[in-house]
Amino acid sequence: MPIIHANHVIKDFTRTKAVEGRFSAVRTLFTREQETIRAVDGVSFSIDEGEIVGYLGPNGAGKSTTIKMLTGILVPSDGEITVAGIVPWEHREANAMNIGVVFGQRTQLWWALPLQESLRLIGRMYRMSEADYRRSMDQLTELLDMGPFLQTPVRQLSLGQRMRGDLAAAVLYRPPILFLDEPTVGLDIVAKERIRSFIEELNRERKTTVLLTTHDLEDVERLCKRIIIIDQGRVLFDGQATDLRQRFAPTRLVDVTVSGDGVARLDAVIRDLPDGVTVTAHDGMRASFELVPERIAVSELIGAIAAQVPIADLAVREPAMEGIIRQIYEAREVVR
């Protein structure tokens, strides 16, 4: 039973067309000409309870617009949406009780209030009992390490601290569904990591369903088994992250560093590589190989190298998601 369901959702925005040429500013005032922009164009998907889904797409693809319809902020021009059985924009307040939302670009906390006061206010809005509030706060304070800045006014928090505060505000009342719109935007590596592990923990502990938009593919690699890619308002791909890799980059990368006296012999290895292996980088003691596991096993390549050169260091990697996503964005075609 899917907890989030979108069926052929369309969202059009209309705006008055700007007039060009002489006196354009004045003429714009009198023009009635409108143009329609279709931000979301027939998007359908279902998300099951407990899934973490990465909702990806280039800027202006329609990600945020979709999230705003799922959260009840925007009303679709056509199509159906249910979130935990509720049509979000028809029962906005009931829907609000079921969902937590983080907009990375803005805050739902109150600038003038200390973080703790902001969170207490959220607790009251969501009708939490004092005991529930205490328990939730204690847990979140520890998980997100908020102790040092609970008494700081929100306007004085660093971006990383504020984002942790916003996450706490979104999950304080234990909603079964969490929408995260670029939750790691602008954060440093440590802060990003903290947020990722928090989302992971939340999903494991509470079975929270998470829909996440991001431009940071490390978020996706770390958290999402399933990915939905949209562009120009249409779904280009919806499936397992591993399938995506399998289709677009079914390769492995092997990085090898040889010990001091092996440099010359490494050249020899590279000149005579087994089938299905290519060199992607070579620099003195170091070389990187790419291979297709269907044609040659990783162990076979390593064995072939080790037979001729002493290996000092070795790493086997999957190709970065980034390259794959870039291919899809650039092709702009539905992936089947």
Partner 1 sequence: MIARQSFAERVLNPGLRDVFRMGVRRTYAFRMWLYLGILQVFFQLLLVKAVWKAVYGSDATVDGISSEMMLTYLTVVGIINFMIYPILADEIHERIEEGQVAVDMVRPIGFVRQMLALELGHSIGRWALLIVVVPGMLLLGSLTPPSPGTFLLFLLSFALAYVVGIEIWLLVGLSAFWLLNIGGMRSMVGLIGGFFAGSLIPLWFMPGPLRALAEWLPFQSIAYLPAAIYVGQATGNELWRALIVQGVWAVILGIAASRVWARAQNRLVVQGG
For partner 1, the binding residues (CB under 8 A) are 13, 64, 68, 71-75, 84-86, 89, 91-94, 96-99, 101, 103, 105-108, 110, 112, 121-122, 124-127
Q: For residues 41 and 200, which CB has a smaller minimum distance to partner 1 in the complex?
A: 41
Q: For residues 181 and 219, which CB has a smaller minimum distance to partner 1 in the complex?
A: 181
State the burial class of residue 120 (Cβ atoms within 10 Å of its Cβ: 0-12, 13-18, 19+): middle
> Which one, of 271, 182, 178, lies nearest residue 219 by Cα?
182
Q: For residues 49 and 300, which CB has a smaller minimum distance to partner 1 in the complex?
A: 49
CB atoms within 10 A of CB 29: 9
> Which one, of 164, 204, 157, lies nearest residue 180 by Cα?
164
Contacts of 93 (CB under 8 A, 6+ apart): none
CB of residue 37 vs partner 1: minimum separation in angstroms? 10
CB of 318 closer than 8 Å to CB of 47? no
CB of residue 176 vs partner 1: minimum separation in angstroms? 8
Q: For residues 10 and 73, which CB has a smaller minimum distance to partner 1 in the complex?
A: 73
Cα distances from 318 to residues 73, 96, 111, 232, 321, in angstroms, run: 39, 40, 43, 29, 9
Q: For residues 129 and 283, which CB has a smaller minimum distance to partner 1 in the complex?
A: 129
Task: Give the integer Cα–Cα distance in Å for 24 and 17.
Answer: 11
One DSSP character per residue, 235-298 reads EEEEEEHHHHHHHH---EEEEEEE-GGGHHHHHHHHHTPPTTEEEEEEETTEEEEEE-TTTS-H
Q: How far is CA 132 from the centre of its chain?
A: 30
CB of residue 226 vs partner 1: minimum separation in angstroms? 22
CB of residue 14 vs partner 1: minimum separation in angstroms? 9
CB of residue 120 vs partner 1: minimum separation in angstroms? 8
Q: For residues 48 and 201, which CB has a smaller minimum distance to partner 1 in the complex?
A: 48
CB of 219 closer than 8 Å to CB of 54? yes
CB of residue 13 vs partner 1: minimum separation in angstroms? 6
Q: For residues 209 and 251, which CB has a smaller minimum distance to partner 1 in the complex?
A: 209
Task: Give the integer Cα–Cα distance in Å for 88 and 95.
Answer: 6
CB of residue 124 vs partner 1: minimum separation in angstroms? 4
> Which one, of 149, 133, 134, 139, lies nearest residue 191 by Cα?
149
CB of residue 308 vs partner 1: minimum separation in angstroms? 55
Q: For residues 208 and 251, which CB has a smaller minimum distance to partner 1 in the complex?
A: 208
